[in-house]
Amino acid sequence: MKNIAVVFGGNSCERDISIITGVQLCRNVNKNKYNVYPLVYEGSDFYLPSNPLEIDGYIKWVGEEQNKVYFRGKSLIKNGKIRQKRLCAIDCVVLCTHGGEGENGVLQGFFECLGLPYTSAGVCGSAVAMNKSVSKAVFKHIGCRSVESVSVNKKDYDESKTQYVADKLDFPIIVKPSSQGSSIGIKIANDIEELQEAIDTAFCFDSKIIAEKALTDFVEINVAVVAKGGDLIFSSPEQPVGWKDFLTFEDKYIAGGKMSGSGRIYPATLTDKTKKTVYDYAKRIYEFLDMKGVVRMDFLIDKQNKVYINEVNTIPGSMAFYLFEEEDIDYEDLIDILVDEAIRQNAEKPKYTFRSDVLSEFEECNNACKNPSKLL
Protein backbone atom coordinates (compact mmCIF):
# COMPACT_ATOMS: atom_id res chain seq x y z
CA MET A 1 0.00 0.00 0.00
CA LYS A 2 1.10 3.54 -0.73
CA ASN A 3 1.29 6.24 1.91
CA ILE A 4 -0.25 9.48 0.68
CA ALA A 5 -0.36 12.86 2.43
CA VAL A 6 -3.50 14.79 1.51
CA VAL A 7 -2.74 18.48 2.12
CA PHE A 8 -5.51 21.07 2.44
CA GLY A 9 -6.31 24.34 4.21
CA GLY A 10 -3.82 27.16 3.74
CA ASN A 11 -4.07 30.90 4.33
CA SER A 12 -5.89 32.05 1.21
CA CYS A 13 -9.47 33.30 0.86
CA GLU A 14 -10.31 29.81 -0.41
CA ARG A 15 -9.26 27.99 2.78
CA ASP A 16 -12.76 26.69 3.55
CA ILE A 17 -13.23 25.38 0.02
CA SER A 18 -9.84 23.68 0.25
CA ILE A 19 -10.89 21.91 3.45
CA ILE A 20 -14.05 20.64 1.76
CA THR A 21 -12.02 19.38 -1.21
CA GLY A 22 -9.50 17.67 1.09
CA VAL A 23 -12.10 15.97 3.28
CA GLN A 24 -14.11 14.96 0.23
CA LEU A 25 -11.04 13.42 -1.40
CA CYS A 26 -10.10 11.52 1.77
CA ARG A 27 -13.60 10.04 1.88
CA ASN A 28 -13.26 8.79 -1.71
CA VAL A 29 -9.80 7.22 -1.49
CA ASN A 30 -9.59 3.46 -1.98
CA LYS A 31 -8.54 2.37 1.52
CA ASN A 32 -7.24 -0.93 0.11
CA LYS A 33 -4.64 0.95 -1.93
CA TYR A 34 -3.59 3.84 0.29
CA ASN A 35 -2.78 4.74 3.85
CA VAL A 36 -4.07 8.30 4.07
CA TYR A 37 -2.49 11.05 6.18
CA PRO A 38 -4.75 14.15 6.04
CA LEU A 39 -2.65 17.25 6.75
CA VAL A 40 -3.91 20.77 7.39
CA TYR A 41 -1.50 23.37 5.99
CA GLU A 42 -1.41 26.54 8.09
CA GLY A 43 1.25 29.23 7.84
CA SER A 44 4.41 27.21 7.29
CA ASP A 45 3.22 24.30 9.45
CA PHE A 46 1.37 21.02 8.93
CA TYR A 47 -1.07 19.45 11.39
CA LEU A 48 -2.58 15.99 11.58
CA PRO A 49 -6.22 16.63 12.64
CA SER A 50 -7.75 14.44 15.32
CA ASN A 51 -11.02 13.96 13.37
CA PRO A 52 -9.95 14.49 9.77
CA LEU A 53 -13.21 13.49 8.07
CA GLU A 54 -15.52 15.64 10.19
CA ILE A 55 -16.13 19.11 8.69
CA ASP A 56 -17.37 20.46 12.05
CA GLY A 57 -13.87 20.10 13.49
CA TYR A 58 -12.51 22.73 11.10
CA ILE A 59 -15.08 25.43 11.90
CA LYS A 60 -13.40 26.35 15.20
CA TRP A 61 -10.00 25.04 14.21
CA VAL A 62 -7.02 25.79 16.48
CA GLY A 63 -3.82 24.37 15.02
CA GLU A 64 -1.95 24.38 18.34
CA GLU A 65 -4.49 21.89 19.71
CA GLN A 66 -3.70 19.40 16.95
CA ASN A 67 -0.74 17.12 16.28
CA LYS A 68 2.01 19.04 14.54
CA VAL A 69 3.94 17.06 11.95
CA TYR A 70 7.01 17.70 9.82
CA PHE A 71 8.48 16.54 6.56
CA ARG A 72 12.04 15.35 6.95
CA GLY A 73 13.07 14.34 3.50
CA LYS A 74 10.37 11.91 2.42
CA SER A 75 9.49 10.95 5.98
CA LEU A 76 6.55 12.29 7.94
CA ILE A 77 7.55 13.03 11.53
CA LYS A 78 5.31 13.58 14.59
CA ASN A 79 6.24 15.13 17.92
CA GLY A 80 5.97 12.66 20.79
CA LYS A 81 5.93 13.29 24.52
CA ILE A 82 9.60 12.38 24.81
CA ARG A 83 10.99 12.39 21.28
CA GLN A 84 9.93 12.70 17.68
CA LYS A 85 8.36 9.70 15.99
CA ARG A 86 8.59 8.72 12.33
CA LEU A 87 5.08 7.99 11.10
CA CYS A 88 5.95 6.72 7.64
CA ALA A 89 7.70 7.40 4.35
CA ILE A 90 5.36 9.36 2.07
CA ASP A 91 5.00 8.03 -1.47
CA CYS A 92 2.98 10.95 -2.84
CA VAL A 93 1.50 14.28 -1.73
CA VAL A 94 -2.04 15.01 -2.95
CA LEU A 95 -2.47 18.77 -2.99
CA CYS A 96 -6.01 20.05 -2.36
CA THR A 97 -4.90 23.60 -1.55
CA HIS A 98 -6.81 26.32 -3.40
CA GLY A 99 -5.31 29.76 -3.88
CA GLY A 100 -2.42 31.52 -2.17
CA GLU A 101 0.82 29.69 -1.44
CA GLY A 102 -0.92 26.36 -1.84
CA GLU A 103 -1.57 26.92 -5.54
CA ASN A 104 0.88 29.60 -6.71
CA GLY A 105 4.00 27.41 -6.76
CA VAL A 106 5.34 28.07 -3.27
CA LEU A 107 4.15 24.80 -1.70
CA GLN A 108 5.00 22.98 -4.92
CA GLY A 109 8.59 24.27 -4.62
CA PHE A 110 8.79 22.92 -1.07
CA PHE A 111 7.93 19.40 -2.20
CA GLU A 112 10.29 19.74 -5.17
CA CYS A 113 13.10 20.40 -2.68
CA LEU A 114 12.15 17.28 -0.75
CA GLY A 115 12.03 15.21 -3.94
CA LEU A 116 8.46 14.14 -3.14
CA PRO A 117 5.95 13.43 -5.93
CA TYR A 118 2.95 15.76 -5.75
CA THR A 119 -0.26 15.87 -7.76
CA SER A 120 -0.51 19.44 -9.00
CA ALA A 121 1.15 21.51 -11.71
CA GLY A 122 4.79 22.39 -11.08
CA VAL A 123 6.30 25.62 -9.77
CA CYS A 124 6.28 27.53 -13.07
CA GLY A 125 2.89 26.35 -14.31
CA SER A 126 1.29 27.01 -10.93
CA ALA A 127 2.75 30.53 -10.67
CA VAL A 128 1.74 31.51 -14.20
CA ALA A 129 -1.80 30.15 -13.95
CA MET A 130 -2.35 31.90 -10.60
CA ASN A 131 -1.37 35.30 -11.99
CA LYS A 132 -4.05 36.47 -14.43
CA SER A 133 -1.88 39.22 -15.90
CA VAL A 134 1.03 36.88 -16.64
CA SER A 135 -1.19 34.05 -17.86
CA LYS A 136 -2.84 36.35 -20.42
CA ALA A 137 0.59 37.14 -21.87
CA VAL A 138 1.30 33.41 -22.12
CA PHE A 139 -2.08 32.72 -23.74
CA LYS A 140 -1.33 35.33 -26.39
CA HIS A 141 2.15 33.91 -26.98
CA ILE A 142 0.82 30.41 -27.73
CA GLY A 143 -2.05 31.64 -29.89
CA CYS A 144 -4.98 31.33 -27.47
CA ARG A 145 -7.46 34.21 -27.58
CA SER A 146 -8.37 35.97 -24.31
CA VAL A 147 -10.55 39.00 -23.60
CA GLU A 148 -8.90 42.41 -24.01
CA SER A 149 -7.56 43.64 -20.67
CA VAL A 150 -5.50 46.21 -18.76
CA SER A 151 -3.31 45.44 -15.72
CA VAL A 152 -2.77 47.99 -12.93
CA ASN A 153 -0.23 47.90 -10.07
CA LYS A 154 -1.30 49.46 -6.78
CA LYS A 155 2.04 51.26 -6.33
CA ASP A 156 1.58 53.00 -9.71
CA TYR A 157 -2.11 53.73 -9.28
CA ASP A 158 -3.81 57.11 -9.14
CA GLU A 159 -7.31 58.17 -10.19
CA SER A 160 -6.15 59.07 -13.69
CA LYS A 161 -5.65 55.32 -14.24
CA THR A 162 -9.38 54.78 -13.69
CA GLN A 163 -10.23 57.01 -16.65
CA TYR A 164 -7.46 55.38 -18.70
CA VAL A 165 -8.99 51.93 -18.07
CA ALA A 166 -12.45 53.24 -19.04
CA ASP A 167 -11.11 54.79 -22.26
CA LYS A 168 -9.12 51.71 -23.14
CA LEU A 169 -11.86 49.10 -22.67
CA ASP A 170 -15.29 50.80 -22.73
CA PHE A 171 -18.09 49.70 -20.41
CA PRO A 172 -19.11 47.26 -19.07
CA ILE A 173 -15.77 46.38 -17.46
CA ILE A 174 -15.04 43.50 -15.12
CA VAL A 175 -12.30 44.05 -12.50
CA LYS A 176 -10.47 41.21 -10.76
CA PRO A 177 -7.58 40.77 -8.33
CA SER A 178 -4.75 39.32 -10.41
CA SER A 179 -3.99 36.37 -8.13
CA GLN A 180 -7.24 35.35 -6.46
CA GLY A 181 -9.73 32.61 -7.24
CA SER A 182 -13.36 31.68 -6.53
CA SER A 183 -14.53 35.10 -7.81
CA ILE A 184 -13.12 36.79 -4.69
CA GLY A 185 -12.99 40.59 -5.11
CA ILE A 186 -14.59 40.64 -8.58
CA LYS A 187 -17.02 43.36 -9.64
CA ILE A 188 -18.58 44.54 -12.89
CA ALA A 189 -18.69 48.28 -13.58
CA ASN A 190 -21.10 50.05 -15.92
CA ASP A 191 -19.86 53.61 -15.35
CA ILE A 192 -16.84 55.49 -14.00
CA GLU A 193 -18.11 55.55 -10.40
CA GLU A 194 -18.70 51.81 -10.35
CA LEU A 195 -15.29 51.29 -11.95
CA GLN A 196 -13.61 53.26 -9.17
CA GLU A 197 -15.44 51.17 -6.58
CA ALA A 198 -14.52 47.93 -8.37
CA ILE A 199 -10.84 48.91 -8.51
CA ASP A 200 -10.82 49.84 -4.81
CA THR A 201 -12.42 46.48 -3.96
CA ALA A 202 -9.95 44.47 -6.06
CA PHE A 203 -7.00 46.25 -4.43
CA CYS A 204 -8.24 44.99 -1.06
CA PHE A 205 -7.28 41.48 -2.17
CA ASP A 206 -4.21 42.01 -4.35
CA SER A 207 -1.55 44.60 -5.14
CA LYS A 208 -2.07 43.97 -8.86
CA ILE A 209 -5.44 43.92 -10.56
CA ILE A 210 -6.73 43.24 -14.02
CA ALA A 211 -9.61 44.97 -15.81
CA GLU A 212 -11.26 43.25 -18.77
CA LYS A 213 -13.84 44.18 -21.35
CA ALA A 214 -16.90 42.34 -20.02
CA LEU A 215 -18.68 40.21 -22.59
CA THR A 216 -22.43 40.75 -22.48
CA ASP A 217 -23.74 37.86 -24.57
CA PHE A 218 -21.76 34.69 -23.91
CA VAL A 219 -21.71 31.27 -22.29
CA GLU A 220 -19.06 29.81 -20.01
CA ILE A 221 -17.63 26.39 -20.75
CA ASN A 222 -15.49 24.41 -18.31
CA VAL A 223 -13.21 21.56 -19.37
CA ALA A 224 -10.84 19.50 -17.22
CA VAL A 225 -7.62 17.88 -18.42
CA VAL A 226 -5.56 15.20 -16.68
CA ALA A 227 -2.45 13.32 -17.78
CA LYS A 228 -2.38 9.54 -17.60
CA GLY A 229 0.64 7.55 -18.68
CA GLY A 230 1.89 10.51 -20.68
CA ASP A 231 -1.39 10.93 -22.58
CA LEU A 232 -4.00 13.62 -21.96
CA ILE A 233 -7.59 12.84 -21.01
CA PHE A 234 -10.10 15.62 -21.73
CA SER A 235 -13.39 15.82 -19.88
CA SER A 236 -16.67 16.49 -21.58
CA PRO A 237 -17.51 20.22 -21.58
CA GLU A 238 -19.75 21.68 -18.89
CA GLN A 239 -21.86 24.84 -19.18
CA PRO A 240 -22.77 26.49 -15.85
CA VAL A 241 -26.24 28.08 -16.01
CA GLY A 242 -28.50 30.14 -13.80
CA TRP A 243 -26.31 33.23 -13.60
CA LYS A 244 -26.00 36.43 -15.60
CA ASP A 245 -22.56 38.10 -15.55
CA PHE A 246 -20.23 35.81 -13.62
CA LEU A 247 -20.44 33.17 -10.90
CA THR A 248 -19.97 34.79 -7.50
CA PHE A 249 -18.42 33.00 -4.52
CA GLU A 250 -21.97 32.42 -3.20
CA ASP A 251 -23.12 31.04 -6.59
CA LYS A 252 -20.24 28.57 -6.64
CA TYR A 253 -20.30 27.30 -3.11
CA ILE A 254 -23.17 28.30 -0.84
CA ALA A 255 -26.21 29.05 -3.00
CA GLY A 256 -29.09 27.14 -1.47
CA GLY A 257 -26.77 25.93 1.26
CA LYS A 258 -24.95 23.55 -1.09
CA MET A 259 -21.63 23.39 -2.86
CA SER A 260 -21.93 24.51 -6.49
CA GLY A 261 -25.40 25.93 -6.13
CA SER A 262 -25.75 26.89 -9.80
CA GLY A 263 -27.18 24.54 -12.39
CA ARG A 264 -25.32 23.16 -15.36
CA ILE A 265 -25.70 21.61 -18.77
CA TYR A 266 -23.52 18.51 -18.99
CA PRO A 267 -22.30 17.62 -21.43
CA ALA A 268 -22.63 21.06 -23.01
CA THR A 269 -23.78 21.28 -26.60
CA LEU A 270 -21.08 22.84 -28.78
CA THR A 271 -20.51 22.92 -32.51
CA ASP A 272 -17.75 20.63 -33.72
CA LYS A 273 -15.61 23.67 -34.61
CA THR A 274 -16.06 25.31 -31.21
CA LYS A 275 -15.38 22.08 -29.34
CA LYS A 276 -12.23 21.54 -31.38
CA THR A 277 -10.98 25.03 -30.53
CA VAL A 278 -11.70 24.55 -26.81
CA TYR A 279 -9.75 21.29 -26.70
CA ASP A 280 -6.95 22.71 -28.84
CA TYR A 281 -6.54 25.65 -26.44
CA ALA A 282 -6.64 23.29 -23.44
CA LYS A 283 -3.96 21.05 -24.96
CA ARG A 284 -1.68 23.98 -25.85
CA ILE A 285 -1.90 25.47 -22.36
CA TYR A 286 -1.44 22.18 -20.50
CA GLU A 287 1.58 21.20 -22.57
CA PHE A 288 3.25 24.63 -22.85
CA LEU A 289 3.10 25.19 -19.08
CA ASP A 290 4.23 21.59 -18.45
CA MET A 291 1.17 20.98 -16.29
CA LYS A 292 0.62 17.98 -14.04
CA GLY A 293 -2.42 16.62 -12.29
CA VAL A 294 -5.97 17.64 -13.05
CA VAL A 295 -6.44 21.17 -14.40
CA ARG A 296 -9.79 22.85 -15.03
CA MET A 297 -9.88 25.47 -17.75
CA ASP A 298 -12.70 28.00 -18.02
CA PHE A 299 -13.65 29.38 -21.42
CA LEU A 300 -16.00 32.10 -22.64
CA ILE A 301 -17.81 31.76 -25.97
CA ASP A 302 -19.49 34.83 -27.46
CA LYS A 303 -22.48 34.99 -29.80
CA GLN A 304 -20.15 34.82 -32.83
CA ASN A 305 -18.82 31.52 -31.44
CA LYS A 306 -15.41 33.05 -30.72
CA VAL A 307 -13.62 31.12 -27.98
CA TYR A 308 -11.73 32.95 -25.21
CA ILE A 309 -9.66 31.27 -22.52
CA ASN A 310 -10.71 32.89 -19.24
CA GLU A 311 -8.85 31.15 -16.40
CA VAL A 312 -6.76 28.09 -15.63
CA ASN A 313 -7.30 26.37 -12.27
CA THR A 314 -4.39 24.09 -11.39
CA ILE A 315 -6.07 22.69 -8.25
CA PRO A 316 -9.80 22.88 -8.98
CA GLY A 317 -12.54 22.48 -6.38
CA SER A 318 -13.44 18.82 -5.79
CA MET A 319 -10.54 18.10 -8.17
CA ALA A 320 -13.16 18.57 -10.95
CA PHE A 321 -14.01 14.86 -10.69
CA TYR A 322 -17.62 15.59 -11.70
CA LEU A 323 -16.46 16.69 -15.16
CA PHE A 324 -15.28 13.16 -16.03
CA GLU A 325 -18.64 11.41 -15.69
CA GLU A 326 -18.96 10.90 -19.45
CA GLU A 327 -15.45 9.41 -19.52
CA ASP A 328 -16.47 6.78 -16.91
CA ILE A 329 -13.87 8.09 -14.46
CA ASP A 330 -15.22 8.40 -10.92
CA TYR A 331 -13.53 10.16 -8.00
CA GLU A 332 -11.72 7.00 -6.85
CA ASP A 333 -10.40 6.42 -10.39
CA LEU A 334 -9.25 10.04 -10.65
CA ILE A 335 -7.29 9.77 -7.39
CA ASP A 336 -5.51 6.68 -8.75
CA ILE A 337 -4.63 8.53 -11.94
CA LEU A 338 -3.29 11.55 -10.03
CA VAL A 339 -1.12 9.51 -7.66
CA ASP A 340 0.24 7.13 -10.31
CA GLU A 341 1.08 9.96 -12.69
CA ALA A 342 2.77 12.06 -10.00
CA ILE A 343 4.97 9.12 -8.99
CA ARG A 344 5.76 8.26 -12.61
CA GLN A 345 6.73 11.82 -13.55
CA ASN A 346 8.83 12.26 -10.42
CA ALA A 347 10.75 9.06 -11.20
CA GLU A 348 11.42 10.23 -14.76
CA LYS A 349 12.86 13.62 -13.80
CA PRO A 350 16.42 14.12 -15.06
CA LYS A 351 19.00 13.37 -12.37
CA TYR A 352 21.89 15.24 -13.99
CA THR A 353 24.70 16.47 -11.76
CA PHE A 354 27.31 18.91 -13.05
CA ARG A 355 30.67 19.17 -11.32
CA SER A 356 33.43 21.65 -12.09
CA ASP A 357 36.95 22.53 -10.93
CA VAL A 358 36.09 26.16 -10.26
CA LEU A 359 36.41 25.91 -6.46
CA SER A 360 39.77 24.13 -6.48
CA GLU A 361 41.16 26.53 -9.08
CA PHE A 362 39.82 29.47 -7.08
CA GLU A 363 41.65 28.23 -3.97
CA GLU A 364 44.93 27.85 -5.90
CA CYS A 365 44.58 31.38 -7.30
CA ASN A 366 43.63 32.74 -3.88
CA ASN A 367 46.73 31.19 -2.28
CA ALA A 368 48.93 32.57 -5.05
CA CYS A 369 47.56 36.07 -4.50
CA LYS A 370 48.45 35.81 -0.80
CA ASN A 371 52.01 34.87 -1.80
CA PRO A 372 52.98 36.99 -4.86
CA SER A 373 56.23 35.05 -5.32
CA LYS A 374 54.16 32.09 -6.48
CA LEU A 375 52.97 34.17 -9.44
CA LEU A 376 56.56 34.62 -10.73
> How confident is the model at residue 250, as a pLDDT?
46
Question: Looking at residue 179, what DSSP letter applies?
Answer: T
Question: Over the stretch 211-249, which tens digit does the pLDDT of each residue have?
Answer: 998 898 899 999 999 999 989 999 999 999 865 555 444
Q: What is the mean pLDDT of residues 32-42?
A: 96
Task: Please give the order of strands across the beta sheet that includes 307-313.
Answer: 231-234, 218-228, 294-302, 307-313
Q: For position 354, what pLDDT does the model report?
A: 78
The most confident of the ranges 249-263, 310-324, 360-374 is: 310-324
Percentage of the chain exceeding pLDDT 70: 89
Q: How far apart are the C-alpha atoms of 348 and 337, rounded to whole Å?
A: 16
* Confidence at 180, pLDDT banded by 50, 70, 90: low
* 3-state class percentages of the chain: helix first, strand second, coil last, to nearest 5: 40, 25, 35
| Domain 2-118 fold | Rossmann fold (3.40.50)
100/85 Cα distance (integer angstroms) = 30
d(CA 261, CA 251): 6
Check residue 225 and give its pLDDT: 98
The CATH superfamily of 148-213 is ATP-grasp fold, A domain (3.30.1490.20)
Contact 104, 126 (CB under 8 A): yes
Q: Please tell me if the domain spanning 138-143+217-347 has the same topology as the one spanning 148-213.
A: no
pLDDT at position 107, please?
96
C-beta of residue 21 within 8 angstroms of C-beta of residue 107 = no
The pLDDT value recorded for residue 62 is 82
What is the C-alpha separation between 300 and 274, in angstroms, rounded? 11
- pTM for the full predicted model: 0.86
Query: What does residue 37 show for φ and ψ, rounded to 5 degrees?
Result: -120, 95
The one-character DSSP state at 34 is E
Among 102-111, 211-220, 255-264, 299-308, the least confident range: 255-264
Given CATH 3.30.470.20, say whether it is the number of domain 138-143+217-347: yes
pLDDT of residue 209: 86
What is the rounded radius of gyration, in angstroms, for the C-alpha atoms of the chain? 24
Q: What are the sequence ranges of the domains in the chain?
A: 2-118, 138-143+217-347, 148-213
Residue 15 in this model has a pLDDT that exceeds 80: yes
